[in-house]
Amino acid sequence: MHVPKAELHLHIEGTLEPDLAFALAARNGVELPYADTEELRRAYLFEDLQSFLDLYYGLMAVLHTEADFEELADAYLARAAQQGVRHAEIFFDPQAHTARGVGIGTVIEGLGRALDRSVERHGVSTRLIMCFLRDESAESALATLDAAKPYLHRITGIGLDSAEVGHPPVKFREVYEAAAALGLRRVAHAGEEGPPEYITEALDVLGVERIDHGLRCVEDPVLVERLVRDRVPLTLCPLSNVRLRAVDVLESHPLPAMLSAGLMCTVNSDDPAYFGGYVGDTFHAVHEALGLGPEQLRELARNSFLASFLEDDEGLRERYLAEVAAYEFD
Ligand code: ADE
Ligand code: ZN
């Protein structure tokens, strides 16, 4: 679905398509534990978040050089443009690469090369959000922030991802305070598999401006009231929720009820190479499975630009919002 939209919840490593993974494996002399792309695709049957993460981190072994990261990001931006994405705020997981001996500068400069040409090549404006792995230590997150200091001109904000349960937001208080002092914007995954309390804690302790996922807020009416009142954006990822079994089937996703409750919802693709669709496909899927009509789809698109970190270019945000308002659904 081509309505103009911003993508706010997208892990660049989650856009690694099987074809590119095998091409990079050949180029870098990496042996993959799958015979071919078909066998790899057959492994994409996940039980939960952890079973996905195991495969996701494993496949990153093919990413080595700046050129690899540039190619990964450029391929995503080309696909995103075809799906109506006009602006993308892209997550990356530096610790998943530095742990394998790939320098943080290689990752950021490689991604940055693709992002620098994105407007001209694909018509997609971009921002970069550096995520910390919450199942690693707080010290490791602080060291990662420190290592990123030479590249802060490329980074708009920080996020928190990976295995959620057992790793509450409060563990990362210090690194979020340090990032805020550096002028970085703050988001965090919360309420994907973890309880609603993690959403509250991400807001109160980490000072986040958006909640990534936030799905489990629906279990706590007081929290929903707060999120509605404060217009806290939620970057929902319905196809991811189905594949990682947070919901049984797309038809039972609470998105329509969340919109009706007045929550500021956006829809996003999370890890599109693994979860069966990019964000235009996701809009189409929620239209088909949940019966969302033009006005709700327009609201989702509008919310995506309102929730994006475009404070440094309000003119661009206004142009995007005007495009959403003028879009004709067929
Ligand atoms: N890293 C990549 N995708 C993720 C997700 N859905 N939740 C947590 N961490 C992730
Ligand atoms: Zn995510």
Can you give the pLDDT at residue 202? 99
Q: Is the CB of 194 under 6 A from ligand 1?
A: no
Q: Is 320 helix (H, G, I), strand (E, B) or coil?
A: helix
Q: Is 11 touching ligand 1 by the criterion CB < 6 Å? A: yes
* Pocket of ligand 1 contains residue 162 by CB under 6 Å: yes
Residue nearest ligand 1's atom 10 by CA: 162
Q: What is the pLDDT of residue 330?
A: 84
Ligand 1 pocket test target in 16, 47, 131, 161 with most atoms within 8 Å of CB: 161
Which is nearest to 109 in space by CA: 100, 121, 97? 97
Give me the tens of pLDDT residue by residue for the chain, a chain 330 residues long: 899 999 999 999 999 999 999 999 999 999 999 999 999 999 999 999 999 999 999 999 999 999 999 999 999 999 999 999 999 999 999 999 999 999 999 999 999 999 999 999 999 999 999 999 999 999 999 999 999 999 999 999 999 999 999 999 999 999 999 999 999 999 999 999 999 999 999 999 999 999 999 999 999 999 999 999 999 999 999 999 999 999 999 999 999 999 999 999 999 999 999 999 999 999 999 999 999 999 999 999 999 999 999 999 999 999 999 999 999 998
Handedness of CA 279, 282, 287, 292 (dihedral sign): negative
* CA contacts within 13 A on the Cβ side of 318: 4
Task: Kindly state the tokens that stand for 114.
Answer: 């693709």
Measure the CA–CA gap between 223 and 111, rounded to whole angstroms: 36
161 Cα: distance to centroid of ligand 2 (angstroms): 6
Closest CA to 114 of 104, 105, 124: 124
User: Letter for the amino acid at 124?
Assistant: V
Identify whether the C-beta of residue 287 lies closer than 8 Å to the C-beta of residue 297.
yes
201 CB near ligand 1 (under 6 Å): no
* CA atoms of 42 and 300, how far apart (whole Å): 32
In this structure, what token pair is assigned to residue 185?
A: 């914007």
* C-alpha dihedral (321, 12, 235, 50), degrees to nearest 10: 170
Which residues, at least 6 apart from 32, have a Cβ–Cβ distance to it below 8 Å? Answer: 21, 22, 25, 40, 59, 61, 62
**Residue 97 annotated as binding?**
no
Query: Rounded CA gap, 35 and 38, in Å?
Result: 8
Q: Which two tokens stand for residue 85?
A: 């994405």
Distance 118 CA to ligand 2 centre (A): 22
Between the two ends of the chain, the Cα-to-Cα distance in Å is 10
Mutate which of 192, 235, 267, 275 to test ligand 1's pocket (most atoms within 8 Å of Cβ)? 192
Alpha-helical segments (H) within 60-103? 66-82, 94-98
- How far is it, in rounded angstroms, from Cα 105 to Cα 92? 13
3-state SS, one letter per residue, for 4-15: CEEEEEEEHHHH
Instruction: Provide the annotated active-site residues.
Output: 192
HSE, side-chain direction, 13 A CA sphere, residue 239: 24
b/e code 15-42 from CB counts within 10 Å (16+ = b): bbbbebbbebbeeeeeebebeeeeebee
181-185 contacts: CB < 8 A, separation 24 or more? 182/145, 182/152, 184/152, 184/155, 184/156, 184/157, 184/158, 185/129, 185/156, 185/157, 185/158, 185/209, 185/309
Closest CA to 5 of 62, 96, 81, 99: 81
Nearest to 164, CA basis, from 45, 10, 44, 49: 49
Asked if residue 153 belongs to a known ligand binding site, the reply is no
Ligand 1 atom nearest residue 237's Cα:
6
Neighbours of ion ligand 2 (CB under 5 A): 270
Q: Which CATH class is domain 5-326?
A: alpha beta
Taking CA atoms, 218 is separated from 49, 212, 262, in Å, by 19, 14, 12
Pocket lining: 189 vs ligand 1, CB cutoff 6 Å: yes
SS3 160: strand
Q: What pLDDT is recorded for position 199?
A: 99
Which numbered atom of ligand 1 lies nearest the CA of 161?
9
In sequence order, what E strands does the chain have? 5-11, 85-92, 125-133, 157-161, 185-190, 210-213, 233-236, 264-267
Q: What's the CA-to-centroid distance between 163 and ligand 1, angstroms?
A: 7
Q: Which residues of 66-86 are buried (b: 16+ CB within 10 A; e: fewer)?
A: bebbbbbbbbbbebbbebbbb
Å from CA of 119 to ligand 2 middle = 24
Name the closest-CA residue to atom 9, ligand 1: 162
Output the CA 151–ligand 1 centroid distance in Å. 24
